[in-house]
Structure 1
Amino acid sequence: MTSSSNELEANDDQQADDGWRPFLRRNQRYISAIGTLLIIALFGAAIFHLTAEVQYDDVTSALADTRWTSIAAAILFTALSFFALTFYDVGALDYIKRKLPYADVALTAACAYAVGNTAGFGPLSGGAIRYRSYSRLGLEPEDIARIIAFVTLAFGLGLATVGCLSLLTVAEYVAPLTGLEPFWLRAIAIVVLAGLLMVLVVARNGHEFSLGRLTLRLPDSKVSSRQFLVTALDLGASATVLYVLLPAGAIGWPAFLAIYCVAVGLGVLSHVPAGLGVFETVIVATLGRAADVDTILGALVLYRLIYHVLPLLIAIIVIIGMEVRQFAGHPAASSLRRVGGRLTPLLLATLALVLALMLVLSSVTPTPHENLAFLQNYVSLPIIEGAHFLASLLGLVLVIVARGLALRLDGAWWASIVIALAALMLSLLKAVAVGEAAMLAFFLGGLLVSRRLFVRPASLFGQALTLPWLTALGVICFGAFVVLLFVYRDVEYSHELWWQFEFSAEAPRGLRALLGVTIGASAVAIWSLMRPATTAIEPASEDEMERAIAIVDSQDMSDANLVRMGDKSIMFSSDDRAFIMYGQRARSWIALFDPVGPPDAWPDLIWQFIETARANGCRAVFYQVSPLGLAYYADAGLRAFRLGELALVDLTRFELKGGKWANLRQQVSRGQREGLEFSVVEPSDVPGILPELAAISDAWLAHHSAREKGFSLGAFDPEYLASQPVAILKCQGRIVAFANVLVTGTREEASVDLMRFSPDAPKGSMDFLFVQLMEHLKAQGYRHFNLGMAPLSGMSSRQIAPAWDRAGNAFFEHGERFYNFKGLRAFKSKFHPRWQARYLVASGGLNPILALMDATFLIGGGLKGVITK
């Protein structure tokens, strides 16, 4: 009975495990978004409770009473903090042993922190800024990933160290604010510091640090100490920005530094964009006993404006200033302007989000009495009511437009111009809000100066907001709701409020505005989430194939001839000069290689493919792309992950002379002694040898227990083989090996696809075939021979490398039972090629892993094809 019960419980556990874990994996993004909104709601409720005795007028009075000297000091310390922040990137570049001009690094870092601090979510984060900028400066994706990892780890460790050290010295002052005894605060700090010290001692000479399956290589003592000083300066300066805005004598600076570190850490861990609400709650909860809450709230508002919004405005001014002056002739300025051009859309998109928040919040806060009295003399009540309501809706629309600005849509630019002009006029009509109007005018100026950057002719309304953007929209709505409750906490709610229209009736106006924003946001969310079901894509038609082959013949990439297989769909650029060939597996649209055609046609085609995939509810993936297009993919918000290396032989220098070619010379001599004969069969003559080739192919598949592949590899298809030349080897008059040759009209490059031989072919036949083929192609005037990609080759095993690279290297070293990784690399290395990286490009999170799985199944023809080779 007991055994049966245990088995039943085990089965129940297994069923539960099979049920909820896949559910969590499938819906991880949605659960994360809902969790973020729940966190902001909880902290909103907490701060509403903590400010129960505070009136809105008290906060505005506290803001008005802030001394200009305090504001000037806050601006000064903001500048000092951002100066320190640039050295995170400088240290990261030094750690990975890469050098870039400080001006470029400083501009990138400052923009990354200006955007990340203000918006702080995926598309508008420091990582996105760094990918766009550093890819333009020539860094490889692995290097950019290491920079981001270094910066993140350095800040996290520095934050923990500075916070704990400050707690040790001021625990008595912090204890009453937190409700914990000084002993326990110090004990927590000592435990954390001991752990950090242990890690640093182990890694003092750059040694690896292992914790279970996790292996890290931390910086050595010199780098660690330097980064600690950078973090200490950054945190000290940024904490002082808020400290000088607080009432004098409310708390000592060391104690405040400890509280500030805790607030920043919780804000980061909450994953709420910019830590909005979380940071404020911690500060109010801990300092509320030491100072008036109204003055703390006023200081927090100014802190957000000075430390978050002001650097964003300055970054836009600097970049737009370079655009206006156009001093690209100066060597130092040219790279700055090139980088700035890639960052401007993201900066303006972030500013659009700030303005959206401003418009929504201003709609739920009362108009100053003197402004309202002035308006009452010149503007009728219906105009004020309408302006108030429409301004809030414009704030909602501006969130949608912000995403279009980040994507550089021309429609988003025009919409932003119209919205900013309308909001500017409405801000004056509804409240004579001069500051609000000035911000909108600044936004307009930035848009006008940067017009040339927004040239993508995509439909703005065809863009469905992704989850990060919907989360940001939800945070804005929650924030407006909390502010409304705070401002009108003494107003008794009744149904009559909805229909109350008077000049002095501020609460009803705020309620109606919030209702409009909430309904609009809900409609946008439903419209974005109710995406079309994944639709099956059709292979290319005959007409599309002819157009694509014409493009292939006129460009340099020989592998583009794989389009001749006819098993892929084709998407053409608007001018028909380039195309993308792609396939679908599950929810992945997988493009093979870079776009085929002139590089100047790539950017718009890449965007077109990404948007079409998203419109069909799928992720866009690019498989086996070259370094040439990485900047374009970074501009589209995608990230690159190394797949392996492509082997390219320079045929202009190819000759079997010298010691390094001795082994191949021996193979050629041996093949000649054994009677091997090489020839190239032209496409018109291939049908006559197809029966012999088919017999060799069938024997090869049977001998290797393999099956035909697809997508990135050709299959034995008579029409496909007859479309290009075929290299053959004969022994005693019988064909024993063959390889179809992929060529283009430019003769820049040639490659092979199918390479098959009979089980009884002489040993070394394929070496002989390749050498003879290269010599033949060299005589024909071809300049390079593409030996294909060696999967997982060239992936770094260093512990500073991204986890993707280290996992790939481990599989390369120990995965021979699944695939002959090392053998394939060794075979290609015989020909002494130049190795060039190839990448998988997809969005972040789990998407690269899912995309690689989908690409593997697409190539292998499903799970069975992968398992059975």
Structure 2
Amino acid sequence: MPSRLSPEELAPPSKVRPAGRAFSFKWPFMLKLTRFGSRRWAALVTPLLMLALVILVFGSIQRLIAEVDYDDVTLALRATPWHSVALAVLFTAASFVALSFYDVSALAYAGRRLPYPIVALTAFCAYAVGNTAGFGIVSAGAVRFRFYSRFGAEPDEIARIIGFVTAAFGLGLTLTTALGALVSSDEMASIVNVSPPLIQASAAVLLILVSALLLIPAARQGALRLGRHTVPWPSVRVVLLQAAATLCDITATAAVLWVLLPPLPIAFPGFAAIFAVAIGLGVVSHVPAGLGVFETVIVAALGNAVPVDNVLGALILYRLVYHALPLVLSTAIIGSLEVRRIFARKAVSRAVVAAGRLAPQSLAVLSMVAGTILIVAGVTPLPAERLEFLSNTLPLPILEGANFLSSVLGMVLLIAARGLAHRLDGSWWMSLSVTGLALFLAALRASNITEIVLLAVLLAALLATQREFNRPSRMLRQPLTGRWLVAIVTVVVMVVAVMLFAYRDIEYTNELWWQFEFAAEAPRSLRAALAVVLVTGAVGVWSLTRFARLTVEPPAAAELAEAAAIVQRQFNPNANLVLMGDKSLVFSEARDAFIMFAQQGRSWIALFDPVGPKEAWPELIFRFSELARLHGGRPVFYQVRPENLSLYADAGLYAFKLGENAQLKLKTFDLAGAKRADFRRALNKGEREGLGFEVLEPQAVALCLDDLQAVSDAWLAKHNVREKRFSLGAFDRTYVASQPTAVLRQDGRIVAFATVLRTALKDEISVDLMRFSPDASNVTMDYLFAKLILHFKEEGYVWLDLGMAPLAGFQPHATASVWNRVAHTVFEHGERFYHFRGLRSFKGKFLPEWQSRFIAVGGGRNPLLALADVAVLIGGGVRGVVAK
């Protein structure tokens, strides 16, 4: 991760090492780090394992309900008392109130405080999305990242928030299971066929372990060591409050299903323990929303105690009340806030503005739910009274066509959901038209009220949030990742299982495909299911085979000239590195902004934030990320600024701190004081030795390129290093001649030089190449820098960018993330591999202002593989990294 100033240009670092355990840092160790968790085959194997689990689960549940009749399930569903449904809604509200305190505690743990209404809105939307979409850490975490980052939270803080919430939920499940099993061991024994003493002993051990894990580190105000990692612990008060909130949440959630079930031969505590186990297995299975896994555990546990048809009916209502209802409400709330924002005559609160950023995720999940319900409705039989009504009011061809088309539209909504999550306008238009047509067909088919209300809410929310879907796209260009394909296939497998369950008494014959009658519901469902399977298969094959590696070409001379003109109209002088011509370019639609990038392995690595007007950045960042994904690549943004992290989160990228960038304020720089003594001595000694300083404009630089190259070649030979690339300039004659250059002369001969990067705005300058002759004075570097700083201070420039110190600024505090700890360890002990501390020390003597720099990575949460590709790219190959 080289910075602006290469470490080879510095004096040798100090050999004094801090006291403590020795650490041998070698390149093979780095190779192991880069491979950890980042295997290419994992992206393929993980979805395949999940699909295998889905098929296995649905095979198991088919065996469990082998003796159950579909009509009995629908009768049990309709027979559920309205007051039971009302109680379920009430307990759902109580659960979500308790869930909001997860975020309150997590924010306090991370050192952040926000008003409770903002936290409650974020938690409600995050859990409404995460509970339904599954992959809670990813989906709900993405909602939190997008929302909290708008309020200034940094990636490390948000990671701690997500980690706290996840750990609290996991410990809460364990605590609930232990307490419930301990209280109701006798009743549980009759259900799970395990002896009461064994249940009591297991529960007591679990309870003791969890209590010790929660209270002992908190009482000592210390941290919990897990292997090599140390987890900081909150105070006893926070632990107890969070434990109470977790128990309230899980108890209320279990009560939702409890009141929907018929009377059970088990007390509520025992049922809550079984419920917690089912929830936990659903979470760890990574199947979207635990679909099928949760149901299998509940049916297996309760099937011998109460009729299975009653259990299935209660599970369906549970999914509607606890999953679908909060999702619909969160989408309605976000839509209403967006309408308020549109019609507000004065500025609205930040919470209202930020709520609009949650719309894409909520609408994406609601689109998946609506699509699933459409498909299920197409492959299941209609109630007898509704079928009779349709037979008297609707021609058969219209009914057949509406049923077939509704199922296909449901699959389109599933596919378009991914584009909605990424705010693509093509997906918005597609979802809007499909939802409108599906709503018309639902009314035509006299569908149930749930289907109509869901589609109506989705349609209204899409209309209210149009401004959030502002990324130009085409539906057929969207890459469907493995996670989305697994979610879609899970729905299809579930739909086929439901259809087989509904028509298990009908013997299959080939003639079924050609039966068209009002009463012939099995053939109608069979045709709808075939359409869904064919569409899914086509989409899956297309998504898995369409990746074509694209070898990008260097920019043409006209494109370089266009990019150079853009660079001069913005503030970042380092964007002049585009003139090296070794990076490809992606321009905005208006061609007023661009991203410069290069390929290394699967990584498409963009250098810095986009260059150009900031209003063009969101669309450009997303378009570049999608372009990389479209060609099977991994989008990476190297050295991005902290204030822009929310833009990368919106594009589905994860941010990790890289190091700190040194910025020297020229207007306040002077040579007075003890801390500037080295520069005063260098200036005095340089004057005595006859050093002369001059800044050459590009026209003058072109006249002395031979002298400059001689200095550069001698410097490279002395230090036995190769030219770096990508984030550093190399001595390319055309590139050097395009920049101003500060030179030092001695007896008329150039003995040192530094190329200067600048823009027409005269706000900031940056130093790129620095080279000096082997026989130059030992004060040459300090003399050149001091003269350069004073010169550009007089010219009216505000800042001097000294470049990034990689892995600097990572503190090994108690709340540090794993990545933070790894980076700090490498910084402290990796001096043999790279001069981390020496580079930080050199920049530090200028007394600059330090600002964090980040790497934003797509396609996974581990940045090490991306960083390895960056290192290889800058070094010009593996040899350039291993050597110098």
TM > 0.5 fold call: yes
In structure 2, the residue matched to 1:38 is: 52
Amino acid across the alignment from 1:575: A
Match of 1:310 in 2: 325
Give SS of 1:538's match: coil
Distance 1:328 1:149 in 2: 38
Residue equivalent to 1:802: 817
User: Which letter does structure 1 place at the counterpart of 2:467?
Assistant: R
Q: 1:109 corresponds to which residue?
A: 123
Per the TM alignment, residue 29 of structure 1 is displaced from its structure 2 partner at its CA by: 1.8
1:624 corresponds in structure 2 to: 639
Partner SS for 2:471: coil
The 1-side partners of 2:175 and 2:371 are apart by 37
Q: Which has the higher contact order (CA 8 A, sep 6+)?
A: 2
TM-aligned CA deviation for residue 203 of structure 1: 5.6
Query: CA contact under 8 A between 2:187 and 2:265: conserved in structure 1?
Result: no
Deviation at 1:209, TM superposition (A): 3.0
* Superposition RMSD in Å: 2.1
The structure 1 residue matched to 2:41, chosen from 27, 40, 44, is 27
Q: Is the 8 A contact 2:218 2:239 kept in 1?
A: no
- Note if contact 1:167-1:189 (Cα within 8 Å) is conserved in structure 2: yes
Aligned: 1:811 with 2:826: yes
Does residue 65 of structure 1 match 2:79?
yes
Where in structure 2 are the equivalents of 1:376-775 lying within 5 Å? 376-775=391-790
Spell out, residue by residue over 1:276-305, the C-alpha distance to the aligned partner (whole angstroms, 9 max, x if none).
Answer: 111111111111122221111111111111
1:523-578 deviation line (CA, Å, top 9, x unaligned): 00000111232121100100000000000011100100000101111111111110
- Cα deviation, 1:571-596, whole Å, max 9, x if unaligned, reads 11111110110001111111100000
The match for 1:225 is 240
Residue 16 of structure 2 is matched in structure 1 by none
Give 3-state SS (helix, strand or coil) of 2:409's partner. helix
Q: Name the stretch that deviates more: 315-324 or 585-594.
A: 315-324
Output one character per residue of 1:763-820: Cα deviation in whole Å (capped at 9) or x when no partner: 2321221121111111111111100000011123234222222111111111101111
Q: In the superposition, relative to structure 1, how do residues 126 and 844 fare at CA in structure 2: closer, same or farther (>3 Å)?
A: farther
Corresponding residue number in structure 1 for 2:176: 162
Structure 1 residue 673: deviation in Å? Answer: 3.5
Gapped regions of structure 1 (runs ≥ 5)? 1-17
- Quick one: structure 1 residues 329 and 435, their matched pair in 2 at CA, closer, same or farther if it must change by over 3 Å? closer
Q: Partner amino acid for 1:176?
A: S
- Asked if the contact 1:568–1:583 (Cα under 8 Å) also holds between the matched residues in 2, the reply is yes
Look up the SS of the partner of 1:326 in the other structure: helix
> C-alpha distance in 2, partners of 1:181/1:731?
93
**Residue 198 of structure 2, aligned match among 184, 203, 206:** 184
Contact 1:368/1:431 (<8 A) preserved:
no
Q: Does 1:783 align with 2:798?
A: yes
Aligned to 1:150: 164
- Structure 1 residue runs of 4+, over 4 Å off? 21-24, 327-333
Structure 1 residue 321: deviation in Å?
1.5
Aligned-partner Cα distance in 1 for 2:218–2:869: 38
After superposing the two structures, state which structure 1 stretch, 722-731 or 243-252, moved more: 243-252
Q: Secondary structure at the match of 1:445?
A: helix
Mapping for residues 195-274 of structure 1, pairs under 5 Å = 195-200=209-214, 201-202=216-217, 204-274=219-289
Q: Distance in 1 between matches of 2:703 and 2:433?
A: 67
1:708 partner SS? coil
Partner AA of 1:734 in structure 2: R
Per the TM alignment, residue 471 of structure 1 is displaced from its structure 2 partner at its CA by 0.6
Measured in 1, the distance between the counterparts of 2:846 and 2:64 equals 72
Is 1:346 paired with 2:361?
Answer: yes
Give yes or no for contact 2:55–2:493 (8 Å, CA) kept in 1.
yes
Aligned 8 A contact 1:164 1:193 in 2: yes
- Say yes or no: does 1:55 pair with 2:73: no
> Deviation digits for residues 662-711 of structure 1, max 9, x if unmatched?
34333333333443332212211113332232222222222322111101
State whether residues 807 and 827 of structure 2, in contact with CA within 8 Å, keep that contact through their aligned partners in structure 1: yes
Q: Which residue does 1:172 correspond to in 2?
A: 186
1:122 and 1:187, CA in 2 relative to 1: closer, same or farther beyond 3 A?
closer
Determine the C-alpha separation between the residues in 1 that align with 2:136 and 2:634.
16
Query: What are the Cα deviations for residues 735-770 of structure 1, in whole angstroms up to 9, with x where unaligned?
Result: 332110001000111001111222332223212211
Residue type matched to 1:75 in 2? Answer: V
Check 1:286–1:26 CA distance in 2 against 1; reply closer, same or farther (3 A cut): same
- Report the 3-state secondary structure (helix = DSSP H, G, I; strand = E; otherwise coil) of the residue aligned with 1:501: coil
The alpha carbon displacement at 1:404 in A equals: 1.6
Structure 1 pair 49/331, CA: closer, same or farther in 2 (3 Å)? farther
Summarize deviations over 1:708-753 as a string: whole Å, max 9, x none: 1101111111111111111122344433321100010001110011
Distance 1:569 1:176, change over 3 A: same
The residue number in structure 1 matching 2:142 is: 128
The amino acid that maps onto 2:60 is: A
> Is residue 76 from structure 1 mapped to residue 73 from structure 2 by the alignment?
no
Q: 1:22 to 1:216 in 2, by over 3 A?
A: closer
- The answer as to whether partners of 1:385 and 1:430 remain within 8 angstroms in 2 is no
Q: Aligned letter for 1:26? A: R
Give the whole-Å Cα distance in 1 for the aligned partners of 2:539 and 2:158. Answer: 34
Distance 1:565 1:464 in 2: 32
In 1, Cα distance between equivalents of 2:787 and 2:180: 72
Asked if the contact 1:686–1:725 (Cα under 8 Å) also holds between the matched residues in 2, the reply is: yes
Structure-2 separation of matches of 1:262 and 1:780: 70
Cα offsets for 1:294-321 (capped at 9, x unmatched): 1111111111111111111111121222
Q: Decide which moves more: 493-502 or 121-130.
A: 121-130
Gap change, CA 1:332 and 1:301, over 3 Å in 2 = farther
Note the C-alpha offset of 1:336: 1.4
**Letter paired with 1:90:** V
Provide the rounded CA distance (Å) in 2 between the counterparts of 1:296 and 1:795.
53
SS of structure 1 residue aligned to 2:251: helix
Structure 1 CA distance, aligned partners of 2:746 and 2:172?
Answer: 70
Deviations 1:127-152, CA, capped at 9 Å, x for gaps: 11111111111111121111111111
Q: How far off is 1:402 after superposition?
A: 1.1
Cα shift readout 1:7-30 (whole Å, capped 9, x = no counterpart): xxxxxxxxxxx9xx9999322122
SS at match of 2:382: coil
- The CA distance in 2 between the partners of 1:500 and 1:309, in whole Å, is 35
